[in-house]
């Protein structure tokens, strides 16, 4: 322990400590960046039913139709496949 404290008091010890703290900070920042990129990529993924485009179109359709459960895909299906009477 004494040797570690002596090393920490030297210039090399301080540089080592700063490098370790910097490496941990870079790792944390990189991890957060990957999470953010993943979330942003999923927000525009066309296979995701909750992507920003589908959500926007569905919310506008809900306002215009008065149907709070409006889905563009369902509406298109209903237009081309009217109920048989």
Q: Is the pTM of this model over 0.75?
A: no
Per-residue model confidence (pLDDT) at position 77? 92
Q: Do 62 and 69 contact (CB within 8 A), yes or no?
A: yes
pLDDT in tens, 17-49: 888 988 999 888 888 888 877 777 777 777 777
| Amino acid 73: pLDDT | 87
Give the separation between CA 82 and CA 85, rounded to whole angstroms: 9
| CA–CA dist 48, 63 (Å, integer) | 22
């Amino acid at each position: 322990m004494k040797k570690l404290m002596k090393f920490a008091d030297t210039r090399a010890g301080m540089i080592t400590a700063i490098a370790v703290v910097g490496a941990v900070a870079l790792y944390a920042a990189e991890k957060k960046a990957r999470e953010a990129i993943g979330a942003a990529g999923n927000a525009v993924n066309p296979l995701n039913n909750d992507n920003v485009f589908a959500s926007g179109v569905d919310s506008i359709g809900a306002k215009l139709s008065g149907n709070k459960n409006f889905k563009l895909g369902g509406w298109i299906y209903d237009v081309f496949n009217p109920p048989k009477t």
